[in-house]
Amino acid sequence: MHRVFIPEEVIAQVEAQRGKVNRYESISGPNTALLVIDLQNVFMLPGMPIEVPATRGIVPNVNRLADAVRKAGGRVIWVKMSLQGQTDEWSAFFATDPRPSSLAELQPGSQGFELHAALDVRPEDTILVKKRFSAFIQGSSDVDQVLRAAGVDTIVIAGTVTNVCCESSARDAMMLNYRVVFVADATAALSDAEHNATLVNMVRVFADVRRTDEVIEILSRSRA
């Protein structure tokens, strides 16, 4: 798990700007969805082409969050990345970063595409597929429609990669008027530096940065 570090000067600047660091002191369980981003074998199994070793350490926290959100009456959504048919649609990216082994493992039916076996995925949960780093960008997935139809206004972000798909999804969700909670110890990147750079971006503008225990405590208060 990452050593979480947000510089004191950032905290001070955020407090001076808006009077507090954390944006949300309450979360309505029935209006909340946990979005677990890309915890697929391709990122989690040793030796996979885009392995992120830190993902394996966040699984207990992700499962705890999922349990807490369900108990609070919220939704758990497992988001999977697919690159099927994307080399043409996303040609500007793949022309300079072809990644053939990653492409092969992010095709439906491959081992890499599947969710990791240690995740506590329940029958009542939702599994969605996205085609871009952000789940919310137009044409990537139907997550926005699913959330709005369910009356969701608050999104809790967990998963990987912190500074790629998690950050992209959090930014776009905030811009679409969702309340975003970014869980510092339930997201994973390739390095502490990359992980913490995203946390700085989140706390400054895009999300309420919390730890797993804090999110669970806030959700439990909503049930009282």
Q: What is the pTM of this model?
A: 0.95
Class of domain 28-223: alpha beta
pLDDT in tens, 14-55: 999 999 999 999 999 999 999 999 999 999 999 999 999 999
- 3-state SS class at 119: coil
Neighbours of 170 (CB within 10 A): 28
How far is it, in rounded angstroms, from Cα 23 to Cα 179? 9
Q: For position 213, what pLDDT does the model report? A: 98
Element (H, E) at 103: helix 100-105
Segment (H or E) for 154? strand 154-160
pLDDT in tens, 61-113: 999 999 999 999 999 999 999 987 676 777 777 677 767 778 778 889 999 99
Domain limits, the chain: 28-223
